[in-house]
Amino acid sequence: MTYCVIGCGGIGGQLAPVLCRYLQSLGGDDEKTVLFVDGDSYQSRNADRQEFHRQGNKADVITERMRVMFPSLTIESKSFYVTESNLFLVVRDGDTVFSCVDNHKTRKRISDHCKTLNNIVFISGGNEYSDGNVQVYIRENGEEKTPSITYLHPEIEYPGDLSPDEMSCEELLRGGEAQLIITNFLVAGWMLSVFWLIDSGRNMPYSEQYFDMATGSTRAVMRNVKEVLDIRSCL
Amino acid sequence: MATVRIICGANAQELEYSEGLTPRQLHDRLRDVMNIPDKAQYFVTGSQIDPDTPLEPGQQLEFVRPAGVKG
């Protein structure tokens, strides 16, 4: 079984050690592979939210660290940004995918690829400054068990942002907006709670989870595919 | 007392129903309190509705919140 973590920044970096520890604790004879994917590099400015023992490509650095901590797992890295042309190398039929990326363009790419597979668990997380959400897309034997992450989310279906591979060096160096490590941590935690529900064979009672630190609220919702007038009108 | 239930992201509230109340009016009134984004979609009991359609007592209105971008 392969567990693919796409994006090794604020969310992915917090998700990684907990995911690996959980997988190692399961034991068993089946080989468990964790694949980290990111084209970005750790820089000193990342240290306010992200843990790393050296600068360098995020996927490579986190893989080094996880291999030391969790020797019973097979841990691999791919040091590139995912694109339409390389996603087939990253996400394969039967995988579990954790999308921890920081742009909707890449979420849309992963979502489109997952729709072409027969069996996939795709868990996508994202946050603003003090709130966030987690979505889950499950396909079993070619059949959708939950709606796509683009359903009711025109901002993902028609992304207005750029993926990192489309950005100039200046845009990449400029970095993103301010984020809270605590919000990243909560997204990672909810993504893992979704994974635990699925991995332990429970019924998935929701397809989307929202939280808001400012009000202390969380809400889970199971989206049902119904007629949507025109989601582009909401862009 | 008749009410309507309003949802946006993680936040939910029960409000007293008043005749003619529309999603657009509630959007304006609750924008700050419930952190409703400008570009929200309006759903009542799972179906998308026009923002100027008056609500009925007991209905649940969701302002669908965009997914978080950052990570």
Q: pLDDT tier at B40 (50, 70, 90 boundaries)?
A: confident
Q: Which of these, A133, A180, A179, lies nearest to A153 by C-alpha position? A: A133
Q: Which of these, A219, A192, A187, A225, lies nearest to A206 by C-alpha position? A: A219
Q: What are A135's strand-pairing partners? A: A124, A208
pLDDT of residue A225: 56
Its pTM stands at: 0.92
Answer yes or no: do B69 and A103 touch at CB < 8 A: yes
Q: Is residue B71 part of a domain?
A: no
Q: Is residue B7 part of a domain?
A: yes
Q: Is residue B29 part of a domain?
A: yes
Q: Is residue B23 part of a domain?
A: yes
Q: Which of these, A64, A72, A69, lies nearest to A36 by C-alpha position? A: A64
Which residues of chain A lie closer than 8 angstroms to B43, CB-CB?
A: 152
Nearest to B10 among A131, A154, A179 (CB): A131
Answer yes or no: do B67 and A153 touch at CB < 8 A: yes
Alpha-carbon distance of A64 to A85, in angstroms, equals 26
- Torsion, CA A98, CA A103, CA A108, CA A109, rounded to 10: -80
From the CA of B49, how many Å to the nearest CA of chain A?
A: 8
Q: CB of A148 within 8 Å of any CB in chain B?
A: no
Q: CB of B69 within 8 Å of any CB in chain A?
A: yes
From the CA of B41, how many Å to the nearest CA of chain A?
A: 6
Q: What are B60's strand-pairing partners? A: B5
Q: What residues make up the domain containing B43?
A: 3-64
Strand, coil or helix: B10 = coil
From the CA of B64, how many Å to the nearest CA of chain A?
A: 7
Mean pLDDT lowest among A123-127, B7-11, B43-47, B52-56? B43-47
pLDDT of residue A113: 98
Helix runs in chain A, H state only: 10-26, 58-69, 87-90, 104-114, 154-157, 169-174, 181-199
Q: Is residue B70 part of a domain?
A: no
Strand, coil or helix: A210 = strand
Which residues of chain B lie closer than 8 angstroms to A179, CB-CB?
A: 70
pLDDT of residue B69: 95
Alpha-carbon distance of A152 to A230, in angstroms, equals 10
Answer yes or no: do B67 and A155 touch at CB < 8 A: yes
A to B CB pairs, distance under 8 Å: 96
Q: Contact, A192 vs A22, CB < 8 A?
A: yes
Q: What are A40's strand-pairing partners? A: none
- For A155, the closest chain B residue by CA position comes to B66
Which residues of chain A lie closer than 8 angstroms to B68, CB-CB?
A: 125-128, 131-133, 187
* Number of separate domains in chain B: 1
- For B39, the closest chain A residue by CA position comes to A234
Answer yes or no: do A214 and B7 touch at CB < 8 A: no
Q: Contact, B71 vs A184, CB < 8 A?
A: yes
Map out the domains of chain A with their CATH numbers. 2-234 (3.40.50.720)
Question: What token pair was written down for A215?
Answer: 């009000």
Helix or strand run (H / E) with residue B27:
helix B23-30
Alpha-carbon distance of B6 to B15, in angstroms, equals 7
pLDDT in tens, chain A (235 residues): 999 999 999 999 999 999 999 999 999 999 999 999 999 999 999 999 999 999 999 999 999 999 999 999 999 999 999 999 999 999 999 999 999 999 999 999 999 999 999 999 999 999 999 999 999 999 999 999 999 999 999 999 999 988 898 888 777 777 678 899 999 999 999 999 999 999 999 988 999 999 999 989 999 998 875 544 444 444 4
- CATH number at B56 reads 3.10.20.30
pLDDT of residue A172: 72
Q: Is residue B52 part of a domain?
A: yes
Q: Contact, B20 vs B54, CB < 8 A?
A: yes
Q: Contact, A129 vs A180, CB < 8 A?
A: yes
Q: Is residue B69 part of a domain?
A: no
